Amino acid sequence: MSRQTVEFSITAAERLNETLNAFLEIDRDGALRRAEEIEKSGNAGPLAGIPIAIKDNLCVKGLQTSCGSKILGDYHPPYNATVIDRLLKAGAVVIGKTNCDEFAMGSSNENSAFGPVRNPWDTTRVSGGSSGGSATAVAAGIVPVALGSDTGGSVRQPASLCGVVGLKPTYGRNSRYGLVAFASSLDQVGVFAREVEDVARVLGVIAGRDPMDATTADVPVPDYTQSLTGDLKGARLGFPRALFGKGLDDEVKNAVESVVDVYRDLGAEIVDVELPNAGYAIAVYYIIATAEASANLARFDGVRYGFRAEDAPELRQMYRKTREEGFGPEVKRRIMLGTYVLSAGYYDAYYRKAQQVRTLIKNDFLKAFERCDAIITPTSPTPAFRIGEKVDDPLAMYLNDIYTVTANLAGIPGISVPCGLSSERLPIGFQLLGPYWSEAMLLKLSHGYEQARPFTERPPISAS
């Protein structure tokens, strides 16, 4: 049974990759061998024989980890990320590594050194990013579940643009050991699936304290599937009216407002909430994320792994040439910006200031959550845009993340759930944000909506 399922996924991945460019590596032989082993061993783990796709910034022993970058090229990590070890123990079968924006920096997947991922709903459009390959692989029915990473919306936004469910857990819920670091105070491993129940199942497997990642918290991991009761009576849903204004596409606005009506019909109480500092989130995010990235990416210098430039007879010259030739434009831009805001004399004006406003944003949420169990927003201000449309304007690209970056800044969990198609048949998603460790509540609310309004549409580019 598991061999057939895995074979189906691999064949679909191979067949659709020319069109979608969702995978950077497909491990046919390894995955089939493992599927057979699982069948023979009678592994009865919660994910026994389930094919899964992994973003190419998470280390899987034996496969490449390129981070969508030339500087890592065909780097093959000698160890597994903790979340991968946990998936394997539960019986999952990794079928391949998915395309992503270089070092997870981007909202469209156009920053991959290996070409953009294409949206299965319209291949002239972006998949979203940075975990676009994982979102696309699930949306096209290649795999039922996939892992990504979310630093400012990199799981939720592509989930929304591709019409699948995507969860970013609380900061400290999952281990990042073996996830290539982008911005360490924001990064979190997230889960994609077509159905909320599958997200719940995978989260239950990967979550929890890991001695290899000191930021994981000692908080018990419940059986998340138990929370999917369908009973939403008395749940309090916060509605931040001010975020449904300027810059939001009308169709997205209407779709998400209809979701609010569905929740009301399901017995939830809708309460008005305010997030007065949310408008500053992009500015705060692009200071903190780039500052941390400039430090994290200092390790790529051509010494211990990956690419090294030729014709550089002196050490510093070798560093500079390796990084100049190895990194793509968006990564260089962010390293430059991060280096600038941390450079002598500017630290207080930018980084410290941003961390102070981050406190204000966090406090807004803590206050709002005194009155509600979760807050509803759109996930992305528009449906998927066209490939090439925003590449020359980095600031316009950054503004795509307006609804998602707040969760990373505050450390709270967020989930994107599909809620319909636009007039151009492009998926629209809504986002739920909850207090720390409220994944069970977010999954329950998402599942309740999914039961009431199942998203059964399938993209034109699809495995079956």
Partner 1 sequence: MPITQSDIEKVAQLAHLELGEEELKTFGSQIAEIVNYVEQLNELDTSNVEPAIGGLTPEGAKTDSSREDEVGGSLGQKIALTEAPDPASGHFRVPKVL
Residues catalogued as catalytic? 55, 130, 154
Q: b/e for 198-225, b at 16 or more Cβ within 10 A?
A: bbbbbbbbbbbebeebebbeeeebeebb
First to last CA, the chain: 18
The only residue of 1, 359, 451, 460 in contact with partner 1, by rule CB under 8 A: 359
Cα Rg of the chain, angstroms: 21
Residue range at the interface with partner 1 (CB under 8 A); choices 52-60, 100-108, 308-316, 447-455 = 308-316
Beginning with the edge strand found earlier in the chain, give each strand of the sheet holding 165-168 in spatial order.
23-26, 93-98, 51-55, 145-149, 189-193, 165-168, 414-421, 427-433, 374-378, 236-239, 269-272
Q: Which of 89, 356, 371, 424 binds partner 1 (CB under 8 A)?
A: 356
Instruction: Check residue 364 for interaction with partner 1 (CB under 8 A).
Output: no
Cβ nearer to partner 1, comparing 267 with 347: 347
Q: Is 186 in the site for partner 1 (CB under 8 A)?
A: yes
Residue of 215, 224, 110, 236 lying closest to 171 (CA atoms): 215
Determine, following the binding rule CB under 8 A, whether residue 350 of this chain makes contact with partner 1.
yes
Q: Does 244 bind partner 1 (CB under 8 A)?
A: no
Q: Distances from the Cα of 88 to the Cαs of 5, 31, 143, 205, in angstroms? A: 16, 11, 16, 10
Which residue stretch of 47-55, 114-122, 337-345, 372-380 sits at the interface with partner 1 (rule: CB under 8 A)?
337-345
Q: Is residue 241 a contact point for partner 1 (CB under 8 A)?
A: no
Taking the least distance from each CB to partner 1, the nearer of 408 and 416 is 408
Q: How far is CA 305 from CA 77, 300, 329, in A?
A: 9, 8, 21
Q: Is 354 in the site for partner 1 (CB under 8 A)?
A: yes
Q: How many C-beta neighbours within 10 Å does residue 453 have?
A: 16
Q: Which helix (H) or strand (E) holds 418?
A: strand 414-421
Smallest gap from Cβ 4 to partner 1, in A, equals 35
Tokens of 228: 């999917």
Rounded CA gap, 424 and 152, in Å?
27
The answer to the question of residue 61 lying near partner 1 (CB under 8 A) is: no
Q: Which of 18, 29, 250, 314 binds partner 1 (CB under 8 A)?
A: 314
Our finding on whether 194 is near partner 1 (CB under 8 A) is: no
Q: Does 365 bind partner 1 (CB under 8 A)?
A: no
Strand pairing category for 51-55 and 93-98: parallel
Per CB under 8 A, the segment of 51-59, 90-98, 149-157, 169-177 that binds partner 1 is 169-177
Judging by beta carbons within 10 Å of its beta carbon (0-12, 13-18, 19+), is residue 270 exposed, middle or buried? middle
Output the smallest distance, CB 174 to partner 1, in A: 12
Instruction: Establish if 316 lies at the interface with partner 1 (CB under 8 A).
Output: yes
387 belongs to the binding site for partner 1 (CB under 8 A)? no
Instruction: Indicate whether 209 belongs to the interface with partner 1 (CB under 8 A).
Output: yes
What is the distance between the alpha carbons of residues 4 and 2, in angstroms, rounded to a whole number? Answer: 5
358 binds partner 1 (CB under 8 A): yes
Site for partner 1 in 410-439 (CB under 8 A): 411, 436-437
**Residue of 231, 360, 367, 460 interacting with partner 1 (CB under 8 A):** 360
> Binding string, 104-143, against partner 1, x = CB under 8 A?
----------------------------------------
What's the min distance (Å) between Cβ of 240 and partner 1? Answer: 19
Please say whether the beta carbons of 2 and 31 come within 8 A: no
Q: Given the rule CB under 8 A, which of 16-24, 117-125, 155-163, 320-328 is the region that contacts partner 1?
A: 320-328
Please state, in angstroms and rounded to a whole number, the distance separating the CA atoms of residues 311 and 130.
33
* Nearest-approach distance from CB 166 to partner 1, in angstroms: 21
The 8-class DSSP code of residue 73 comes to T
Could you give the string, one character per residue 251-290, with x where binding to partner 1 holds by CB under 8 A and - elsewhere? --------------------------x--x-xxx-xx---
- The C-alpha atoms of residue 427 and residue 421 are separated, in whole angstroms, by 4
Toward partner 1, which CB reaches closer, 64 or 380?
A: 64
Q: Which is nearer to partner 1, 68 or 448 (CB)?
A: 68
Alpha-carbon span 385 to 141, nearest angstrom: 22
